[in-house]
């Protein structure tokens, strides 16, 4: 349970300010995340002119001043005035300092990662020493550490590396070409979208990215740097996933140790670092999927029109980002049907809400598919397919081997295996591929990053332990009687997990290539696994059984090793860029 701290005479002004800052951030996490991402714009612009950075930095500083004014209006006392001045001055000075550093330096990844985590650890130790490390403060420190890891990744990882179907700026195809087409033409493709690679995807992410580029170019940045800074958008989306996941955990009843453990898994899971720098549409679609999940939980409790419209927007906009977001619809439909039949006396209210839901969700979600079907007869379920002659085709491996072969040789190297890179085989087992790509994607372990050898084993095997424990915990959580989670919500969670898992395997079998065995097609499974693990740890640590207490402590230790392994691996990756 989150503790409430009141100021005493023994409290220092410094602690009061820090606690006030934490309270404000906790109350407005998405606004804070957006502001931080805008502030980080200066760190990711590369070698540009000082004047070119002046305008965006000035705008960000103005935003900080407005934040200070807002804080003052909410806290009209002496401390509030003092803190508001600190916010305004610090925002201006820090942003201009970053602007200057961006002008004379080439990289800040290691200082940001190590310095930022050191400051976070210092605050953690100070709060612990003063016995003021509340659950809220612990969660915010986890958010800070997770954000720092995501930020450092996009600083050292160019938008041209470790991408999926993006290709290179100026090529005219892939997600980069899609964004550039919208940037230059200002309208949706007026040709059969099947004729250009990746243009079949719904356009929302690409529209936002194109508008973001236009805004930056208007502000004085070069076209190339504006393109690179699309990673600021994906950084925000990834951070939003962390925040939404935490809200899901709280909504479902996690508290204290379980809440901290589950949040730590999401904060330190490398797939979210990697997706912070991936400028395709994956991470935005995942954010909408999690948003639909969370708002369904809220609607089930409130049954309000506002929440059901939030669900409609999340699914509709999600499908306008990537059609796979439809997988959230069947479990949500079950919740709607259950609520309707459990309160038949209020059927008029539900019919009105469901009509509003369909009126918002269907036009937005199906717009792209209907448009392409009418104009070019593109099937609603069209997905671009690789040839069987592809260098990563694995359809020749027997299906039973693909599903159940876990031979030791598959784990000699924790990177996804490609024969084109000189490996002995193509990765063929979807589950093995899921674990490998969730930690290293398909490019982190290329020869460029040999410095991670050894650290990768720590990260990979700790993730395997947590993954197995999380799946077992989910079965236990859903099967246990007397749980804080009601039966319909258990069915919702189980069906949500089951549909995504089944569709992940279906996709891997229907499109038998190494690249389809990627975690990006099943990221919500990690969030549900973290939730289940949190419940298990929370229950075990409160148990009177010594065995359960020890097991809970061991799982917490594994999460710590997992976080440390990720830090070591991605610190080594950042160092590799400097060395080479």
Whole-angstrom Cα distance, residue 429 to residue 433? 6
Is the Cβ–Cβ distance between 42 and 95 less than 8 Å? yes
User: Residue 49: what pLDDT?
Assistant: 41
- Closest residue by Cα to residue 510 from 394, 390, 409: 394
Token pair in block for residue 276: 């912070």
Band of pLDDT at residue 94, cut at 50, 70 and 90: low
Q: Is residue 533 part of a domain?
A: no
Is the Cβ–Cβ distance between 442 and 515 less than 8 Å? yes
Q: Is residue 241 part of a domain?
A: no
Q: Is residue 446 part of a domain?
A: no
User: Residue 83: what pLDDT?
Assistant: 59
Band of pLDDT at residue 97, cut at 50, 70 and 90: low
Token pair in block for residue 490: 């258990």
Band of pLDDT at residue 353, cut at 50, 70 and 90: very high
Residue where the block lists tokens 């955990």? 249
Q: Is residue 24 part of a domain?
A: yes
User: Residue 45: what pLDDT?
Assistant: 47
User: Residue 38: what pLDDT?
Assistant: 83
Is the Cβ–Cβ distance between 569 and 456 less than 8 Å? yes
Residue 136 has pLDDT above 60, yes or no: yes
Q: Is residue 245 part of a domain?
A: no
What is the number of structural domains in the chain? 2
Residue 9 has pLDDT above 50, yes or no: no
Is the Cβ–Cβ distance between 60 and 41 less than 8 Å? yes
**451 secondary structure, DSSP code:** G
- CA torsion, ordered 490, 494, 497, 500, to nearest 10 deg: -130
Read off the pTM: 0.89
Tell me the pLDDT tens digit for each residue of 438-486.
999 887 655 557 678 889 999 999 999 999 999 999 999 999 887 789 9
Q: Is residue 270 part of a domain?
A: no
Whole-angstrom Cα distance, residue 179 to residue 181? 5
For residue 513, the SS3 value is strand
Whole-angstrom Cα distance, residue 350 to residue 356? 10
In angstroms, how far is CA 251 from the centroid of its own chain?
A: 19
Is the Cβ–Cβ distance between 458 and 564 less than 8 Å? yes
CB-based burial of residue 190 (10 Å sphere; 0-12 exposed, 13-18 middle, 19+ buried)? exposed
* Other residues' Cβ atoms within 10 Å of the Cβ of residue 338: 17
Give yes or no: residues 95 and 179 share one domain: no
- Closest residue by Cα to residue 296 from 317, 284, 313: 313
Q: Is residue 501 part of a domain?
A: no
* Other residues' Cβ atoms within 10 Å of the Cβ of residue 444: 27
Q: Which three-class secondary structure string do you get for 382-445? A: CCCCCCCCCCCECCCCCHHHHHHCCCHHHHCCCCCCCHHHCCCCCCCCHHHHHHHHHHHCCCCC
Domain assignment of residue 199, given as a range: 174-228
For residue 377, the SS3 value is coil
Q: Which three-class secondary structure string do you get for 56-102? A: HHHHHHHHHHHHHHHHHHHCCCHHHHHHHHHHHHHHHHHHHHHHHHH
Which ranges of 511-545 does DSSP label H, i.e. alpha helix? 523-542
Tell me the pLDDT tens digit for each residue of 17-72.
566 667 777 778 898 888 888 877 766 544 334 444 455 555 556 656 665 665 55
CB-based burial of residue 84 (10 Å sphere; 0-12 exposed, 13-18 middle, 19+ buried)? buried
Rounded mean pLDDT of the chain? 86
Tell me the pLDDT tens digit for each residue of 195-224.
999 999 999 999 999 999 999 898 888 899
How much of the chain is in helix, strand and coil states, percent to nearest 5?
Answer: 75, 0, 25
Whole-angstrom Cα distance, residue 136 to residue 130? 15
Tell me the pLDDT tens digit for each residue of 309-343.
999 999 999 999 999 999 999 999 999 999 999 99
Region 381-410 average pLDDT: 91
Q: Is residue 253 part of a domain?
A: no
Phi/psi for 32 (5° steps) reads -60, -45
User: Residue 483: what pLDDT?
Assistant: 78
Region 374-390 average pLDDT: 89
Is the Cβ–Cβ distance between 304 and 257 less than 8 Å? no
């Amino acid at each position: 349970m989150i503790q409430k701290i009141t100021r005493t005479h023994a409290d220092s002004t410094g602690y009061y300010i820090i606690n006030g800052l934490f309270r404000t951030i906790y109350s407005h996490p998405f606004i804070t995340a957006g502001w931080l991402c805008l502030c980080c714009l200066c760190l990711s612009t590369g070698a540009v002119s000082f004047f070119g950075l002046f305008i965006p930095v000035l705008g960000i500083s103005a935003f900080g001043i407005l934040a200070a004014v807002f804080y003052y209006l909410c806290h009209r006392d002496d401390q509030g005035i003092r803190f508001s001045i600190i916010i305004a001055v610090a925002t201006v000075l820090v942003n201009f300092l970053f602007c200057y550093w961006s002008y004379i330096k080439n990289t800040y990844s290691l200082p940001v990662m190590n310095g930022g985590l050191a400051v976070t650890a210092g605050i953690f130790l100070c709060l612990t020493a003063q016995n003021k490390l509340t659950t809220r403060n612990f969660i915010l420190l986890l958010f800070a550490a997770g954000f720092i890891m995501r930020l450092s990744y996009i600083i050292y990882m160019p938008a041209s590396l470790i991408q999926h179907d993006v290709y290179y700026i100026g090529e005219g195809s892939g997600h980069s070409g899609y964004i550039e087409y919208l940037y230059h033409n200002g309208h949706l493709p007026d040709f059969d979208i099947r004729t250009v690679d990746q243009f079949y995807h719904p356009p929302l992410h690409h529209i936002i990215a194109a508008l973001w580029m236009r805004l930056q170019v208007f502000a004085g940045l070069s076209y190339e740097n504006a393109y690179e800074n699309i990673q600021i958008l994906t950084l925000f989306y990834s951070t939003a996933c962390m925040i939404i996941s935490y809200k899901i955990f709280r909504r479902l009843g996690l508290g204290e140790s379980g809440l901290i453990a589950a949040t730590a898994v999401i904060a330190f899971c490398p797939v979210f670092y990697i997706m912070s720098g991936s400028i395709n549409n994956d991470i935005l679609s995942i954010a909408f999927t999690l948003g639909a999940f969370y708002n369904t939980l809220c609607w089930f409790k409130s049954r309000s029109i506002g929440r059901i419209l939030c669900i409609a927007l999340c699914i509709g906009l999600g499908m306008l980002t990537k059609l796979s977001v439809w997988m959230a619809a069947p479990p949500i439909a079950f919740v709607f049907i259950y609520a309707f039949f459990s309160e038949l006396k209020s059927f008029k209210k539900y019919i009105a809400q469901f009509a509003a839901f369909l009126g918002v969700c269907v036009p937005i979600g199906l717009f792209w598919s209907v448009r392409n079907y009418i104009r070019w007869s593109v099937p609603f379920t069209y997905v671009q397919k690789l040839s069987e002659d592809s260098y990563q085709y694995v359809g020749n491996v027997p299906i039973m081997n693909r599903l159940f072969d876990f031979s030791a040789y598959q784990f000699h190297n924790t990177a996804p295996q490609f024969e084109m890179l000189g490996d002995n085989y193509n990765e063929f087992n979807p589950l093995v591929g899921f674990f490998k790509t969730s930690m290293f994607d398909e490019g982190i372990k290329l020869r460029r990053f040999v410095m991670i050898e050894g650290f990768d084993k720590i990260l990979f095997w700790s993730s395997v332990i947590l993954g197995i424990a999380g799946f077992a915990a989910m079965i236990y959580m859903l099967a246990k009687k007397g749980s804080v989670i009601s039966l319909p919500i258990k069915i919702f969670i189980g069906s949500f997990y089951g549909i995504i898992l089944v569709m992940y395997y279906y996709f891997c079998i229907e499109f038998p290539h190494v690249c389809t065995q990627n975690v990006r097609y099943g990221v919500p499974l990690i969030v549900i696994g973290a939730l289940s693990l949190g419940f298990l740890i929370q229950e075990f640590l409160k148990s009177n059984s010594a065995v359960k207490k020890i097991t809970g402590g061991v799982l917490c230790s594994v999460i710590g090793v997992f976080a440390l392994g990720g830090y070591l691996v991605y610190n080594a990756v950042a160092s590799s860029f400097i060395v080479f």
